[in-house]
Chain A
Amino acid sequence: MRILVAVDQHPYSAHVVKDVAKLAGNTWADVTLLGVGPKAMDIGRSSNRAGIKHPLTEKLKKYRRTFLEHFEKEESPYEKRSCSYEFIEIKSGIWEELYVCRGARKDLRIVLRAGNPVKEILAQTQEDGSDLVAMGCYREGDCQWEGGLNLPQKVANNATCSVLVVKEEKQIRKIVCCLDQENISQKSIEMINQMVTLYQTELEIVGLTDKVALKPKVEKNLEAILKYYNARQIKAWIKLVETASLESFISQEAKRSMMALWMGGQSILTKIFPRGKVEKLIQGSQSSVLLLR
């Protein structure tokens, strides 16, 4: 699993880094902390020679420390254990003495990109092959993300992988999860599993009905999911929602629960809940939102 954490300088970014550290502790994911800022200077040399500092470099270093502090040093999969000069064969018959640090079992990268934040975040997800993009946001109102208006909403709409928008610190009591009703992927139920473990919360699984009842296939799927979570000691509730009431249900639940929506290409939710509504959900929700793809 590879997680991209997009950060800026606001407190919600520090919060999302802590959450992702916990998630990474459970999943041993490769993680990239990405800061996006104005194109200004040569950061590599600036702090030493020209004396110019990019506003995000110090924050990124701080976030790295915050991330690593979550792990015991000896047990951390991200800890680089020993560094020394070693001759490494770089081409056939050619060796070079390189300074090599060995021991980190998992990758923690700190990346700073300059340019349009939405484009840069999406480009980094493509380059990394990320499974999940995580970013923070204020609990209420527009997500004024470092000058980029509604940035989390735009990333959520355009990313090809799953997106987690973490609202500022708030106790999550319940994750309400609208999975695809007929084709539920193992990956999506495992991601939900991780979120339940991360936030130590209960789960509510939504079954979409027409006016009469659940389709037999959907009912079988719900039963299988319920068994899956019960076997993992996860308290899972079932709630039936009529397709026509889904929007009002989501807007009501988003006030007090974390919403997890399956928005894959084949998902019925992408038809019922198009882009504009996703933006509105992220903006209006008081709690975190997870879009599964």
Chain B
Amino acid sequence: MLRMLVHLDADLASSIALRYACQLSQLVDIKLHCVHVEEPDQDAHAPGTGWVRRTWENTVLKTGEFEIAQLIRAEKSSCPKLGAPKMLVGERENEILREIQRESYDLFVEGSLHSFAAKKLFDKIHSRLYRLIPCPVIIVKNLVNIEKVALIVRSEIESKNLISMFLKMFKDSKLKLDLIYCEFQEPGKLSINAKKDADGTLNAVEQMLAENQWPPENCFTIQGAPEEIGDELRDYGLLACPIHHTVSKKSNWFQLLSHIPSPILICWQ
């Protein structure tokens, strides 16, 4: 059984991410684990070792424990699989990374509310955690129903990774799947058509999916500015896409990811 780790803080983004993860765990055979990292004040240094340190850590944890417990309690009725969260003390990114490496999770989920400014997502993608994370990541920007998912593809080579990751996680689900190829152009000319892309990527990827007994329901090319395409894709419950850690902020590809209001599943290249 696959295992996913959901990072929780006492905020709206985490509340949305938790609800989304619960929904996902009911559609896919995946076990849900939660983690909260309590960061001590920047000036506070961890004292000593052994009993002294443990006592200090317990005191720090108490401050966040109550709010996280409330968050879990609120979701428990609709998500019986939800267990007690793991509570850690330390620097957020380091602790999460250590936890993922230690327990070999298959998927990491966290909430990050959809933002007009691309900087927030850009910083996240270039963070130490995301640079070193060994598994795919779902960034939950809004709470949506997962009825239909889509793969956004760019090239045949990248798509192989994307598809094997996607199939590993979702193959047994009965989700409707669409396959999308994006062509970027000036704003004001958004168009969607069933015709295949120029370099044949859609055809090739469609065939890969068909060979794995999961042919897409729809397969189309969407042309437009990143913000128009992002807006157009809002009806999907999850959009899976490949991304390089080196992606530039001004690239159309990154701008598209930033403008998608729905949750995105990032497959690292």
B116 touches A237 (CB 8 A): no
Is B234 in contact with chain A by the CB < 8 A criterion?
yes
Interface size on A, residues (CB 8 A): 21
Q: Which segment of A5-13, A58-66, A157-165, A240-248 sits at the interface? A: A240-248
Closest to A257 in B: B231
Complex CA distance for A202 and B232, rounded to whole angstroms: 13
Q: A239-B116, A242-B117, A245-B117 are in contact. Are A256 and B12 (CB under 8 A)?
A: no
Check B255 for interface membership: any CB of A closer than 8 A.
Answer: no
Asked if A249 lies at the interface with its beta carbon under 8 angstroms from chain B, I say yes
Chain A residue at minimum C-beta to C-beta distance from B188 = A255
Q: How many A-B residue pairs have CB under 8 A?
A: 44
Contact with B along A193-205 (1 / 0, CB 8 A): 0000000001010
- A44–B114 CA distance with the chains assembled, in angstroms: 58
- Partner of B114 from the list A223, A238, A249 (CB cut-off 8 Å) is A238
Q: Is B29 an interface residue (CB 8 A)?
A: no
From B12, B115, B227, A222 is in contact (CB under 8 Å) with B12
- Tell me if A207 counts as interface (CB < 8 A to partner B): yes
Q: Residue B147 at the A interface, CB < 8 A?
A: no
CB contacts (< 8 Å) of B223 on chain A: these are: none
Q: Closest residue to A252 on the B side, CB-wise? A: B227
Contact with B along A213-236 (1 / 0, CB 8 A): 010000100110010001000000
- Closest Cβ of chain B to A238, distance in Å, is 5
Convert B1-29 into 0s and 1s, putting 1 for each residue whose CB lies closer than 8 angstroms to a CB of A: 00000000001100100000000000000
For A174, the closest partner residue in chain B by CB is: B231
Instruction: Identify which of A174, A219, A230 gathers the most chain B CB atoms within 10 Å of its CB.
Output: A219
Check if A207 sits within 8 Å of B113, measured CB to CB: yes
B-chain residues with CB within 8 Å of residue A204 when the two chains form the complex: 261
Report the Cα distance A241→B12, complex, angstroms.
16
Closest chain-A Cβ to B247's Cβ sits at a distance in Å of: 21
Q: Are B261 and A239 touching (Cβ within 8 A)?
A: yes
Partner of A240, one of B115, B143, B227, B234: B115
User: Is B142 positioned at the interface, with any CB of A under 8 Å from its CB?
Assistant: yes
Contacts of A174 in B (CB 8 A): 231
Chain A: minimal CB distance from B68 (Å): 16
Checking A230, A241, A252 against B115 with a beta-carbon cut-off of 8 angstroms, the contacting residue is A241
Checking B116, B143, B261 against A241 with a beta-carbon cut-off of 8 angstroms, the contacting residue is B116
Name the A residues within 8 Å of B115 (CB-CB). Answer: 209, 239-241
CA of A252 to CA of B12 in the docked complex: distance in angstroms?
A: 26
Contacts of A214 in B (CB 8 A): 12, 113
**Measured between alpha carbons, how far is A226 from B19 in the docked complex, in Å?**
13
Contacts of B143 in A (CB 8 A): 226, 230
Residue interface bits B120-158, CB-to-A below 8 A is 1, else 0: 100000000000000000000011000000000000000
Chain B 152-173 near chain A by CB (<8 Å), digits 1 or 0: 0000000000000000000000
Provide the residues of chain B in CB contact with A252, threshold 8 Å. Answer: 227
CB <8 Å contact, B114 and A237: yes
Measured between alpha carbons, how far is A226 from B16 in the docked complex, in Å?
A: 10
30 contacts between A and B (CB under 8 A): A174-B231, A204-B261, A207-B113, A214-B12, A214-B113, A219-B11, A222-B12, A223-B12, A223-B15, A226-B12, A226-B143, A237-B114, A237-B142, A238-B12, A238-B142, A239-B113, A239-B114, A239-B115, A239-B116, A239-B261, A240-B113, A240-B114, A240-B115, A240-B116, A240-B120, A241-B116, A242-B117, A245-B116, A252-B227, A256-B231
Closest 9 CB pairs of A and B: A240-B115, A241-B116, A223-B12, A249-B116, A237-B142, A239-B114, A219-B12, A240-B113, A237-B261
Task: Using CB atoms and an 8 Å cutoff, list the residues of chain B in contact with chain A.
Answer: 11-12, 15, 113-117, 120, 142-143, 227, 231, 234, 261
Q: A238-B114, A239-B261, A242-B116 are in contact. List 8 more A-B contacts (CB 8 A).
A: A174-B231, A202-B234, A214-B113, A223-B12, A230-B143, A238-B12, A240-B114, A245-B116
